[in-house]
Amino acid sequence: MTDIVNSVGQILITEEEIKARVTEIGERISRDYADKEPLIVAVLSGSFIFASDLVRALSIPVDISFIYASSYGDSSESSGQVDIKTGKGGLNAEGRDIIIVEDIVDTGRTLSAVKQFLFDKGANSVEICTFLDKPSRRIVPIEAKYMCFDIPNEFVVGYGLDYAYKYRQLPFVGILKPEIYEK
């Protein structure tokens, strides 16, 4: 891990802080959905680490599905286009109480598209659980019922979030050194 950690200029959220907060959010969801058996829909790729930690913090039965949504390509600026794909068997959302699990809400475009997609597939209810939120960047009004951390308007990596497809495995959330983006 030493090499990639060397590319990090600042750690914003530590591994310990993440663990404590994910546990707390997991307990809250378990209470709120105690009689519901929700369907967790994790938005790939960025949420894969958060989703796997979150579901292990839940004490209620849940189903887990994955959808792929991309809006960024290999740059750090949003393209504004959201491309949504499900796995081979599709996604059965009919009548389900769904919790979308996302890595970060930035402009809100991705989640608003994913939410609409799930309602179009017949979901009964759709709530959002995001690991990070950048409220100052919002273009499309969207609110997450569950949110782990509010962050300032900085491009962050780690805990599932990438820069040019790398750095997802960092166990904390950080900002890369400026020279990494300039490469």
Q: Cα separation of 97 and 127, whole Å?
A: 8
Per CB under 6 A, the list member of 22, 39, 100, 105 interacting with ligand 5GP is: 105
Residues 6+ apart with CB under 8 A from 77: none
Is 72 one of the binding residues for ligand 5GP (CB under 6 A)? yes
Look up 97 and say whether it is catalytic.
Answer: no
Side-chain-side CA neighbours of 23 within 13 Å: the count stands at: 6
Is residue 174 exposed (0-12), middle (13-18) or buried (19+ Cβ within 10 Å)?
A: buried
Is 162 one of the binding residues for ligand 5GP (CB under 6 A)? yes
Nearer to ligand 5GP, 80 or 89 (CB): 80
3-state helix, strand, coil in the chain (%, to 5): 30, 30, 40
Is 133 one of the binding residues for ligand 5GP (CB under 6 A)? no
Q: Cα separation of 13 and 30, whole Å?
A: 24
Is 126 one of the binding residues for ligand 5GP (CB under 6 A)? no
Tokens of 147: 């949110």
Q: 42-71 mask for ligand 5GP (x: CB under 6 A)?
A: ----x------------------------x
Catalytic residue among 53, 103, 106, 133: 106
Contact 5, 175 (CB under 8 A): no
Size of the site for ligand 5GP (CB under 6 A): 19
Per CB under 6 A, the list member of 11, 107, 135, 143 interacting with ligand 5GP is: 107
Catalytically active residues, by annotation: 106
Instruction: Name the residues that contact ligand 5GP, by CB under 6 A.
Output: 46, 71-72, 78, 102-110, 155-157, 161-163
